[in-house]
Amino acid sequence: SLPRLANNFELEGMYGHLRDVLMKIGFLNPQNPDYWMMNIRRFLSRLPLRAREVKIIRGVCRQLDWYTEQVEKRAKEEN
């Protein structure tokens, strides 16, 4: 059988996680974060994402989160 497609709950969780991490790394403009997020959502919604693919994207987000926290921690230790 084919791998299961991601459900709406999984997709919305991924988009929220992606938005948070893109804000954290300064990719999204804090004054209008929805501008780029709508484009990202449109782009990703063209693909029938499988549950495993959503987990991969969220894993990348977790790693970016971890990395930015490490950089921030090192910067504080140096000051």
On whether residue 42 sits in a domain, the answer given is: yes
Parent domain of 20: 8-78
Mean pLDDT of 61-72: 96
Residue pLDDT, tens place only, 19-60: 999 999 999 999 999 999 999 999 999 999 999 999 999 999
CB 21 within 8 A of CB 65: yes
On whether residue 70 sits in a domain, the answer given is: yes
Angle at CA 26, nearest 5°, toward 68 and 8?
Answer: 85
CB 35 within 8 A of CB 29: yes
Number of domains in the chain: 1
Model-wide pTM > 0.85: yes
